[in-house]
Structure 1
Amino acid sequence: MARAINDRLALDLLLERGPLTAPQLRTLTGLSRPTVSDLIERLRADGLIEATGETGEDRRGPNARLYGLVAGRAHVAGVDLRRDAVHVAVADIAGNQAGAATRPLPPEPDLVEQVAGAVAEAAGGLVLHTVVLGAPGLVHPRTGLSTCGGLPGARPDLLHALRDRLGVRVVMENEVNLAAIAEHRDGAAAGRDDFALLWLDDGVGAAIVLDGRLRRGASGGAGEVGLLRFQGTDFCRLLEPGGIRGLGGDRIAGRIVEGVFALVAVLDPGLVVLGGTTGREGGDHLAALVAERLAGLSPAPTEVCATAVEGDAILRGAVLTALDLTRDSVFMQSRPKALA
């Protein structure tokens, strides 16, 4: 068990900091010289790390050998399944992008073939370890069955059909939950244990993180604020792109705050991030307008800010999730067999 813990500690340091020397690993881990030497040899034998060069190559004298991850040891794919297109990003185990593809969806698509085709295009012949797919709608946290949120060509067994078609590990997750994972890791909620992400795009929903954990609910329905009704109208209808086009920031903020207040009144997250196209385009100005209105409704102090994730937050969250799962699996291979 101690070996497994030390191995993972070293691998995580190499992920975070890049190539390191044995003395640097000793300093960062606090492990002894013999322990680090054994650790390096064990990880090299397992094909997880390799020598990548030496320090001080431009000066005279003995140099310390640098060790880095074997980035090509495994590859993952993240998938953002929209109502009109499939977006895929492929990364190696170190998180470097290794491929990407976007495939528009026809009016009545075979989702299995469309997703599988886009994944194959992005992978470009690379063998994938794990694929994480984000889709709208409820995704049951135990069975993986999904309502697919009205996607054309939707089928409740999409997850299992994709596993059969791709022949690799496939995990399905609600797309807003994946965006929240990206926001928590790279965006406006970094370092926060509690926050809610309000997703404002062609669909409206929310994701909840409390005590540092994503909360899905018993059936995957946590955060489905688009179903709330205000003055007889669904919240998602109030904020769909066509419904707010041409409205000023004050009126849009007045609609958004209805859903934000519901989240704050029930959850008290301390931070609400406005994501999706509307949240990104509205930026700090829209967030400030919502915060001003919220302060007049709720006694709980709540920060409101715009998303800070660059690019496709759903795709980023899918890749991050796939990397976490793959690293846990691949790095475990260095454990003694009795512990694996």
Structure 2
Amino acid sequence: MTGGRGPSTGRDGSPRLLREINDRAAIDALLRDGPLTRAELEDVIGLSKPATASLLARLEAEDMVRRGELRGGNRGPRAQTWSVNGALAHVAGVSVTPHDVDVVIADLTGTTCAEHRAAMPSGDTDVVLPAFAEAMTAAARKVGLGAGELRHVVVGAQGAVDPATGHLGFAPHLPGWEGFDVPGRLGELLGTEVTVENDVNLVALVEMSGGRAQEVRDFVLVWLGDGIGSAVVINRVLLRGATGGAGEIDWMYVPDRAHRDTGSDRAGDRFGTLLSPRSVLELARAHGFTAGSAPEAVREAAEAPAGEPFLTDLARRIATGLAGVVSVVDPELVLLSAEIAQAGGPVLAEKVETELHRLVVPRTPVHPALITGNPVRAGALRVALGVARHRVFGLPITTAGVLPTSGR
């Protein structure tokens, strides 16, 4: 919030400090609950009628809030509603994959203003970064802005950003994105502050805010898509590790416990290889399912009694990799996300739980993640909004953990 609102009478009891506390409480309520009347805001923040009216007048004069529609019934005068001025800032949430960049731009209230998707070329850094910048410029142009006018940009990417160097590691799926300070370079390229976060961590944040983990303190989320990853949350905070690599389970070597032989190294193979779309499809075909893709095969198996042996074999592979994580962390919950998990739904999750309990002491429940669509982009947008609201209104950043950010 802006300063200069009158004299202070003391560090803890100054009129300015109290005003700022009340103003932030009002802004937070309007962001959380949407447009409110003065009386409704009064009830939420606990101020008197004159104090609330004065607060709204002050915030309106500073362009922090705006008047909305009148609200009321058939009896009595209709009441004025108030809402946060979303045009004060715009932010972007971005999902980057080897194939495309998917951007959503929202105003400060979280209202979506534009979406843009563009193909990502393959090549070295000098090829992929200009393509990324071009996609961001095109997305910002849809709302009449330059990329540098975005208040904050959060990019979700496969791999882990080392908080000490900003380098993206564990990212063989993203050629051209390794070997440099990714947040810093993108910040210079776009002319604004950029945060780069692991894609699966962003999915975990979305599940914490609006999914199955809203009331869960300790959980593990596993991404079963094009690339295998996990996010570990302890006491509502993401576990990052010394180099940002916590949860990078793709590279673990585990035995293949599937009963049907598909030519894998039974003694040990990379977890990500055993659960790659190609390997899952090979396992499905070994069980007689001839769908054109791994998610299609899993979906067909989940809907047919004959699919039980295939799903059990797939669950054995998933549970084998999960066992070490669950044994160490002892989480309240395991969530399965991404295409294969969505295709298998509760049927696959139940089988993973059964197989997991054969391997570990904790009786951890396993469920499909609730948030579908593009949870990486949704998580990136949520983090971007949190940072921008902190910058503009002084609201606390509620996302779990410190994120690698460019220093602009």
The match for 1:152 is 175
User: Is the contact between residue 112 and residue 158 of structure 1 (CA under 8 Å) also seen in structure 2?
Assistant: no
Contact 1:178 1:313 (C-alpha < 8 Å) held by counterparts = yes
- Partner SS for 1:264: helix
Q: Which of the residues 344, 352, 357 maps onto 1:290? A: 352
Q: Which secondary structure state, in structure 2, belongs to the residue aligned with residue 245 of structure 1?
A: helix
Report the Cα offset of residue 226 of structure 1.
1.2
Larger Rg: 2
Instruction: Describe the SS at the equivalent of 2:342.
Output: helix
Residue 202 of structure 1 deviates from its aligned partner by: 1.2
For residue 238 of structure 1, what is the aligned residue in structure 2?
274
- Structure 2 residue 70 is the aligned partner of structure 1 residue 40: no
What does 1:78-227 correspond to in 2, within 5 Å? 78-108=93-123, 110-123=127-140, 124=142, 125-126=144-145, 127-147=149-169, 149-150=171-172, 151-155=174-178, 156-227=180-251
Q: CA deviation at 1:217?
A: 1.3
Q: 3-state DSSP class of the match of 2:319? A: helix
- Residue of structure 1 equivalent to 2:295: none
Give the ranges of 4+ consecutive aligned residues of structure 1 lying more than 4 Å apart after TM superposition: none
Aligned match of 1:269:
331
Measured in 1, the distance between the counterparts of 2:356 and 2:176 equals 39
Note the C-alpha offset of 1:143. 4.2
Between the aligned partners of 2:110 and 2:372, the Cα distance in structure 1 is 16
Quick one: distance in 2 between partners of 1:8 and 1:214? 26
Q: Give 2:25's aligned residue.
A: 9
Q: Where does structure 1 lack aligned partners over 5 or more consecutive residues?
A: 334-340
Residue 229 (structure 1) aligns with: 253
The match for 1:338 is: none
Residues 1:250 and 1:146: Cα distance change in structure 2 (over 3 Å): same
Separation in structure 1 between the aligned mates of residue 177 and residue 349 of structure 2, nearest angstrom: 34
The alpha carbon displacement at 1:15 in A equals 1.4
Q: What do residues 269-303 of structure 1 show as CA deviations (whole Å, max 9, x unaligned)? A: 11011111111111111100001111222221211
Which stretch shifts more, 32-41 or 178-187?
32-41
CA contact (8 A) 1:99 1:122 kept: yes
CA distance in 1, matches of 2:60, 2:165: 37
Question: Is the contact between residue 120 and residue 132 of structure 2 (CA under 8 Å) also seen in structure 1?
Answer: no
Residue in 1 aligned with 2:10? none
Q: Deviations over 1:39-76 (max 9, x none)?
A: 212221221211102222x6464332111111222111
Aligned equivalent of 1:332: 394
| 8 Å CA contact 1:76, 1:129 repeated in 2 | yes
Q: Distance in 1 between matches of 2:358 and 2:268?
A: 23
1:22 deviation in Å?
Answer: 1.2
Aligned twin of 1:64: 79
Q: Does 1:305 align with 2:367?
A: yes
Deviation at 1:142, TM superposition (A): 4.7
The separation in 1 between residues aligned to 2:234 and 2:20, in whole angstroms, is 29
| Shift of residue 90, structure 1, vs aligned partner | 1.0
1:296 partner amino acid: R
**RMSD after superposition:** 1.7
Quick one: distance in 2 between partners of 1:79 and 1:148? 19
Counterparts in 2 of 1:17 and 1:176: CA distance versus 1, 3 Å: same
Q: CA deviation at 1:148?
A: 6.4
Q: What percent of counterpart residues are identical?
A: 37
In the alignment, is the contact (CA less than 8 A) between 1:138 and 1:149 conserved in 2?
yes
Distance 1:106 1:171 in 2: 22
Could you list the per-position Cα deviations for residues 165-188 of structure 1 after superposition, in whole angstroms to 9, with x for gaps in the alignment?
Answer: 111111111111111111211222
Aligned partners of 2:230 and 2:249 also within 8 Å: yes
Amino acid aligned to 1:172: V
Question: Contact 1:47–1:70 at 8 Å: present in 2 too?
Answer: yes
1:111 aligned partner, one-letter code: V
Three-state SS of the structure 1 residue aligned to 2:68 is strand
Match of 1:253 in 2: 315
**1:138–1:148 CA contact under 8 A, matched in 2:** yes
Q: CA–CA distance in 1 between the matches of 2:48 and 2:202?
A: 40
CA distance in 2 between counterparts of 1:74 and 1:165 reads 20
In the TM superposition, what whole-angstrom CA distance separates every residue of 1:122-171 from its partner, at most 9, and x where no partner exists?
Answer: 22233311000011112123543322602122242332221111111111
Give deviations 1:111-131, integer Å, cap 9, x for gaps.
221221111222223331100
Larger deviation, residues 144-153 vs 168-177: 144-153
On the 8 A contact 1:77/1:88 being kept in 2, the answer is: yes
TM-score normalised per structure 1: 0.93
Q: 1:76 aligns with which of 87, 91, 105?
A: 91
